[in-house]
Structure 1
Amino acid sequence: MHRPSPSRRGRRPASVGLLAALACTLAAGGAAAHPHVFVTAKEQVLFGPDGKVTGVRADWTFDDMYSSFVTQGLGTPGQLLTREELAPLAKTNVENLAEWGYFTRVKLGSQTLAFGEPVDYWIDESPDKLVTLHYTLPLKVPVSAVPAVNVQVYDPTYFVDFKMAERDPVALVSAPAGCSFSVIKPRPLDASDNQKLTEAFFANMSPGTDFGIKLASKVMVACP
């Protein structure tokens, strides 16, 4: 799901099938600007018995082009792929996403929280032939959502465009009474930023540049 940045050339892409999906995008004449992969995201914020946030569960649905290419040659033609058939793809995706921090940031105030190893991961295919990656990211140290925990899902280089689902984008699982969430959508890009969305701009992006945060929604979870 990710193209290595200029400072990371030669390192393995973060998802099997990415190069095929990218090749199709370029061949179709879509190379004029980022992004190249589109994801509709739903996030579940998980709570433990003590009322602390223990992690997040991601449900990411990929666009039709990406879905088509990562499943090419798998299963029986005309039949939906099973979880078992997609298990190697799920394993590869989750393992390689670690290099990129799972495109997920969870913060308590100004502190960015660390994740443990992902668990409970799988991929399924829907009747409309879109694939969805499901996985859980446990926090290494659970935290209280007081005053608030913030969750953002985005690619800093904007190769992958993450958008929160319009319907039920967030769920609080086993949250204490009185906890709530809000989704703050990003401001539209100004004219200057829109003009930057070319391959040349991203190819020459300085290491550490965080362009994707400009287009990232923020989920705020607060408990009394």
Structure 2
Amino acid sequence: MRPTMQRSILTAIAAATVCTAGPAAAHPHVFAEARLDVVVDTNRTVTSLRHVWRFDDLFSSTVLVEFDKNGDLKLSPEELEEVSTVVYDSIGEFDYFQIVSVNGKPVAMKAPDRLMVNFEDNQLIILFESEPRDTLKLDGTVDFGVYDPTFYTAIDFVEDAYMTVEGLPSGCGRRVVRPDPDEAIAQNQTTLTEAFFNDPTGNDMSKLFATRLEISCPAQG
């Protein structure tokens, strides 16, 4: 692989994540559809997040060309493992683009053990499972999302049903929140810095635009 091409594909893969819409100045180059399943046990504890990302045909074709070392127009198990390693290493420094918070406070997640990568119907599919670093109880409002802070990739939850809760406790509710960018900026005007408006990419406040799954549970005594 030529060095320039390798840098190009690594940059694209590193940016792969979930978002809905961002400021007009940012333009996504990669598109994908996603699914997120939040798994909860009988003690109202979140045990894992299960992610599935299915990428667009153009980006998938680029990955195929770059990683198909033997030129057979297929990705062998070894080639898929190389894709997995590249993605894993590239997005690890960004916490695998996961956004989790409890009552507005961020929650740390463990790195997944590995990523599973498939190539089906000419589309690249990435699957992985992660766990909260510490015990995460459903108490109050807990939000889950996945977002690319660079706005390079637009990964969409096409339907609200693609964000699910397995084991939702009785008395708790779930809803999918799709923020309107203009409203998000207006509501957070006092906290957004000049740097954000000059260049929102890579800014932590960009998560304001992320589609998220919100689970609300009454506090336990």
TM-score (norm: length of structure 1): 0.70
Contact 1:15 1:96 in 2 (8 A): no
- Percent identity among equivalent residues? 27
Q: Which amino acid aligns with 2:175?
A: S
Query: What residue ranges of structure 1 are gaps of 5+ in the alignment?
Result: 1-12, 23-31, 193-200
Paired amino acid for 2:95: G
Match of residue 111, structure 2, among 109, 113, 117: 117
Aligned-pair distance for 1:19? 5.6
Higher relative contact order (CA 8 A, sep 6+): 2
Structure 1 runs (4+) greater than 6 angstroms displaced = 75-79
Cross-structure match for 2:142: 149
Q: Offset of 1:89 from its aligned partner? A: 0.9
Q: Name the residue aligned to 1:92.
A: 86
Aligned residue in 1 for 2:174: 181
Shift of 1:20: 9.5
Corresponding pairs, count: 193
2:44 to 51, 74, 97: 51
Q: In the alignment, does 2:131 pair up with 1:138?
A: yes
Instruction: Find the residue that maps to 1:50 and give its secondary structure.
Output: coil
Deviation at 1:213, TM superposition (A): 3.1
Question: Offset of 1:211 from its aligned partner?
Answer: 6.5
Distance 1:158 1:212, change over 3 A: farther
Tell me how far apart the structure 1 counterparts of residues 137 and 179 of structure 2 sit (CA, whole Å). 26
Query: In the alignment, is the contact (CA less than 8 A) between 1:43 and 1:58 conserved in 2?
Result: yes
Question: Which residue of the partner structure matches residue 21 of structure 2?
Answer: none
* Letter aligned with residue 56 of structure 1: L
CA RMSD of aligned residues (A): 3.6
Q: After superposition, where does 1:1-224 map in structure 2 within 5 Å? A: 16-18=9-11, 34-72=27-65, 73-74=67-68, 81=75, 85-127=79-121, 129-166=122-159, 168-187=161-180, 189=182, 205=199, 209-210=203-204, 212-224=206-218
Instruction: Show structure 2 runs of 5+ residues with no match.
Output: 1-5, 16-24, 186-194
User: SS at 2:132's partner residue?
Assistant: strand
